[in-house]
Amino acid sequence: MKLFEITHRDPAGAARTGILHLRGERIETPVFMPVGTRATVKAMLPDEVARIGYRLILGNTFHLELRPGSRLIERLGGLHRFMNWPHAILTDSGGFQVYSLAPMRKLTEAGAEFRSPYDGQRIHLTPEEAIAIQHRLGSDIVMAFDECLDFNAPADAVRAALERTLRWLDRCRAAHAPRAGRAHLFGIVQGHFDAALRAESARRTVERDLPGYAIGGLSVGEPEPLMLEMLEAAVAHLPADRPRYAMGIGLPLNLIDMAARGVDMFDCVVPTRNARNGRVYTFAGIRSIKQNQFAEDPAPLEADCPCSACRHYSRAYLRHLYQCNEILSSRLLTEHNLTFFWRLMDRIRSAIRAGGLRGLRAELAAAYAAPEDAAAGGDAPDPSGPCRERSQ
């Protein structure tokens, strides 16, 4: 069966809805993937994540190879069985760690040599090994090994990274070929913050005729308008009949803006990490549950939200849990944030089908325009800065 089918196109723009066919399931797009770096979506049981509606999550090659090791996971039946997640899994190749762990790695044409952030042990990750690890994990979508650069990288490094990413992609394709019928290899577009290089990278990546394409190297410190400009430069050269994946993007308005530009897949740690820090997403804006204004508030976080936190507990109780550093706080706030992101993606898909994506964007922008918990002097809502991280 074909991996991806488009079910609706917005006649007034580039947005579309579709279906990913993975593990016998139909996954509606645009889709947000919760991040499960180390074979767990933090604070959540796998069946709780599935109950919200998710059928596709993300794992990380680099971290899982360090602990507990892909060979152990393979011996125990693969990542799906190991973490009791019968649904689809996409694994990041470890290419992002080339950027995020720059002080602990040495880069060569062969690959990247890292020092483990856990015990200092040396690890050599090549394109071939990145694919082999993902095969041992049993990933449904396998990401190519790429070189991601910092926002302030010099021009000569940008061209070199683009060329190296393409050479590594060819090595990934060769390593993946024996498993091509059982897993889908996605290439990654780089090109940093040069529109011409983004377009070139996209065109040359598409020449490899892959099942899907990711746009990498965004949300690494750049301003939002530049991020969207680079996304557009890449998407313009990606085939319409293949899924497009914006890696590490997850702020609510970014999801709408990128879906409007024809992106189908997203992932980010925003809902899970921010929940553990008391930051709650709602359609009325962002709340900081630690604020004093909630100390005696009997209302739910969001009246129409179906999550356990909203159905059974008050803001006052949730604030109490957070203030006392109770584990239940992380569980309930994470469930709420993941539920919000699921509902947001559902609304995005409905808005695309109804031609109302611009209206949804305006509604959410108005709700998020004021500082969060303004009456209590809370922090401003999330800027467009980096949310891309593979360690939850």
Q: Structural domain boundaries of the chain? A: 4-270, 274-376
pLDDT at residue 389, rounded to an integer = 47
Kindly report the average pLDDT of the chain as a whole number. Answer: 93
pLDDT tens-digit readout, 272-297: 999 999 999 999 999 999 999 999 99
Q: Which segments within 212-345 are labelled E, that is strand?
A: 212-215, 244-246, 265-268, 279-282, 285-288
* Residue 150 appears among annotated catalytic residues: no
> How many other C-beta atoms are found inside a 10 Å radius of the C-beta of residue 89?
26
pLDDT at residue 119, rounded to an integer = 85
pLDDT tens-digit readout, 128-147: 999 999 999 999 999 999 99
Predicted TM-score (pTM) of the model is 0.94
Nearest partner of 127 among 188, 174, 84, judged by Cα: 174
The structure tokens listed for 249 are 């993007």
- Domain at 4-270, CATH homologous superfamily: Queuine tRNA-ribosyltransferase-like (3.20.20.105)
pLDDT at residue 121, rounded to an integer = 83
**Residue 251 φ/ψ, nearest 5 degrees:** -70, 140
The structure tokens listed for 121 are 């042990």
Among the listed residues 146, 264, 267, 373, the single catalytic one is 267
* Residue 56 · residue 33 · CB < 8 Å: yes
The structure tokens listed for 48 are 């709780």
pLDDT tens-digit readout, 315-325: 999 999 999 99
Q: What is the CA radius of gyration of the chain?
A: 20
Percent of the chain with pLDDT over 70: 94
pLDDT tens-digit readout, 252-276: 999 999 999 999 999 999 999 999 9
* Residue 346 appears among annotated catalytic residues: no
CA dist 288 and 283 (Å) reads 14
Collapsed DSSP state (helix, strand, coil) of residue 57: strand
pLDDT at residue 372, rounded to an integer = 58
Nearest partner of 90 among 3, 169, 22, 2, judged by Cα: 22
Q: How far is CA 30 from the centre of its chain?
A: 12
CA dist 282 and 117 (Å) reads 35
pLDDT tens-digit readout, 92-119: 998 888 778 777 889 999 999 988 888 8
**Residue 380 confidence (pLDDT) above 50:** no
